[in-house]
Structure 1
Amino acid sequence: MTAILFYVPKVIISYNNNLFGFCITAGQEQVKATEEVKELLGILEEHGLGEKKFFGGSDIGLADLAFGWIACLLEILQEAAGVKVLEADSFPRLQAWIKNFNEIPAIKESLRDHNELLTYFKWRREHLMSSAAS
């Protein structure tokens, strides 16, 4: 757990600037933003998860909840933006964490409908992209 605390500021600061960049950009900007997100996810995987099931160990904890949006929304955001951040063979520990996180009964019961969220995030992306173009 101590290791992730060292990297949280980098991820949180980048979160505001880069983590959603792949969703609201296009072309070369989107390619660059996608690579930046992959770098941040690599930090989470290597220094946060390591070989653990959850960020704090074998049980879900506060860090898992803080990064839970990744488990719940990243797939939808990728689909809405038309890019892949998590390829099938990339970030195996992070993907295992996503699976473990989403299998927690309280999390599973709280998840919104995939299609409903996808529709919303596609609309949101279009709205943000058109606002940026104006």
Structure 2
Amino acid sequence: MGEELKLLGAWGSPFSRRVEIALKIKGVEYEYSEEEDILHSKSALLLKYNPVHKKVPVLVHNGKPIAESLVILEYIDETWKDNPIMPRDPHERALARFWAKFFDEKCLPALWKYCWSFGDEQEKAYEDACGVLKTLEGELKDKKFFGGNNLGFVDIAANFLGFWMGVIQEAGGFDILNPDRFPRLCRWAEGFQSCPVVKENLPPRDRLYAFFKAHFEKISRSKDAEVASRH
């Protein structure tokens, strides 16, 4: 059937990349539209198709927009049945939704706060981040992927942990996700990145590193200026 499929995304967004990975797994052709400067301006197309959140990604299927990456992933899986990313068993499907939601609502905010806080606040954030990572480590057990032997919904949802976190750690000069502390998660991250469909749909590591490095340096200069102004 003749279908029009368009994805509005941003090159460095893990949320956009989730959708791209899912579409590639399904073998679905789509047109990609890059939001050039998502942090400072929104295109007319984005405001038209996602007036509520004004964020990427947005998948536009035959003129009908779907927003929010986890919602889009489920829509993709329900629309194109081949190569499923969600379990077919209702209980396992519910568990997959639970862990994807846990990642977005608990893990991601905790990691993000740790990465961008300082001093006592970062120490507290470190404990919180370790707590959620320990929970994920326990859920992963000795499985290759969260859903078992094949890349699935939860793995795609956890792509920030599978790739972005390592780049941010390197750019910021800190260390929380390492094999000594979280061997299962680190093994999973290696397996995640080595999947051809994932590898082909990750942002260039050097470009992402430069992006975060610049942000850390900007924050550092701001902190130095703040300290200097007190003396």
Fold conserved between structures, TM > 0.5: yes
Question: Aligned letter for 2:118?
Answer: A
Alpha-carbon separation, structure 1, partners of 2:210 and 2:201:
18
Higher RCO, Cα 8 Å, sep 6+: 1
More strand by share: 2
1:104 aligns with 2:175: no
State, as a whole percentage, how many aligned pairs show the same letter. Answer: 33
1:23 aligns with 2:115: yes
Instruction: Using the TM superposition, give the Cα deviation of residue 13 of structure 1 relative to its aligned residue in structure 2, in angstroms.
Output: 2.4
More helix by share: 1
Q: Which residue of 2 aligns with 1:70?
A: 161
Alpha-carbon separation, structure 2, partners of 1:63 and 1:16:
13
Q: Which residue of 2 aligns with 1:33?
A: 125
Contact persistence 2:178–2:186 (CA under 8 A): no
Contact persistence 1:72–1:102 (CA under 8 A): yes
Alpha-carbon separation, structure 2, partners of 1:95 and 1:122:
22
Pairwise CA RMSD: 2.4
Q: Which residue of 1 aligns with 2:104?
A: 12
Question: Aligned letter for 1:101?
Answer: F
Q: Which residue of 1 aligns with 2:32?
A: none
**Structure 1 residues 42 and 112, CA, compared in 2 at 3 Å: closer, same or farther?**
same
**Structure 1 residues 109 and 100, CA, compared in 2 at 3 Å: closer, same or farther?**
same
Instruction: Using the TM superposition, give the Cα deviation of residue 86 of structure 1 relative to its aligned residue in structure 2, in angstroms.
Output: 1.5
Number of corresponding residues: 131
The one-character-per-residue Cα deviations of 1:69-91 (angstroms, maximum 9, x if unpaired) are 21111111112222101133121
Alpha-carbon separation, structure 1, partners of 2:96 and 2:138:
9
Alpha-carbon separation, structure 2, partners of 1:104 and 1:11:
21
Alpha-carbon separation, structure 2, partners of 1:65 and 1:7:
11
> Could you state the TM-score of these two structures normalised by the residue count of structure 1?
0.80
> Could you state the TM-score of these two structures normalised by the residue count of structure 2?
0.50
1:79 aligns with 2:166: no
**Structure 1 residues 56 and 16, CA, compared in 2 at 3 Å: closer, same or farther?**
closer
Q: How does 1:48-63 map to 2 (within 5 A)?
A: 49-63=140-154
Q: Which residues of structure 1 form unaligned runs of 5+? A: none
Q: Which residues of structure 2 form unaligned runs of 5+? A: 1-91, 227-231
Alpha-carbon separation, structure 2, partners of 1:43 and 1:16:
13
Question: Which of 118, 125, 135 is residue 43 of structure 1 equivalent to?
Answer: 135
- Tell me the SS of whatever aligns to 2:200: helix
Q: Which residue of 1 aligns with 2:181?
A: 90
